[in-house]
Structures are given as structure tokens and as C-alpha cells.
Amino acid sequence: MTNLSLDRTPFQSSCLSAALLLLLAGCHSSHQSKQSANRHAAIVKQADEAEISSTLGKLKALEGTWLVASPDGSTGESVSKVTSAGSAVREVMFPGTDHEMTNMYHYR
């Protein structure tokens, strides 16, 4: 198990940025108004294939069980696993608790 502090290292910041880039690249909403969609298009640059592939690769490298420590001393787990023939990463935060949360990162 790996300890992960909320004080981010450059690698952790890079992974967080990568996750956000992947999330933003995959965000499409068919029910947005054209005006709203145009406003977002001006703010977010669509990632190209190489950027998306690189970002998913960084998330895959985080596979394993991580111990998350908060500044108040409490801890929790986060479990990341590559799935779907390598096309997705499933992250389960706080597994087995009332606050369990699942995040899926995928491309296509």
C-alpha cells in the first residue's frame, strides 16, 4: 500500500492534471444550448489523440491501492485498477465504507 498525502508532489499534480484533461476531453453534452456549447468551446481546447493516450497511460500507472492521508490525520483508501482490456481505469475511493465512490476514466 502506498501513502498519498494531500500535499501534492509534482507527480501527483501531473496525474491530477492528466485526469482533469481526460475528463474535459471526454465531456460532451448533447442537451446544451448552442450558445452554452460555444462558450465552453472557447474555454477548453479539445485534446488530440496523443494527449488523450498519454493521459490515460498516466492514470494506468497509478494502478494499485493507495492510502490517502488528510491534514487532520484521518486516512482512507483509494484503489485503482485497469479494466476493459486496458481501455479504462476504475478508481474506488473509500471502499467498503458508507462514503464509497467509484470513478471511471476511459477513452472511447
Encode pLDDT of 8-66 as tens digits.
555 554 555 555 555 555 544 434 445 555 555 566 778 888 888 888 899 999 999 99
Residue with cell 479494466: 83
Residues 6+ apart with CB under 8 A from 72: none
Query: What's residue 65's pLDDT?
Result: 94
Asked if the model's pLDDT at residue 1 lies above 70, the reply is no
Where is mean pLDDT largest: 48-52, 98-102, 104-108?
98-102
Task: Check the CA dihedral 60-61-63-66 and report its sign.
Answer: negative
pTM of the shown model: 0.55
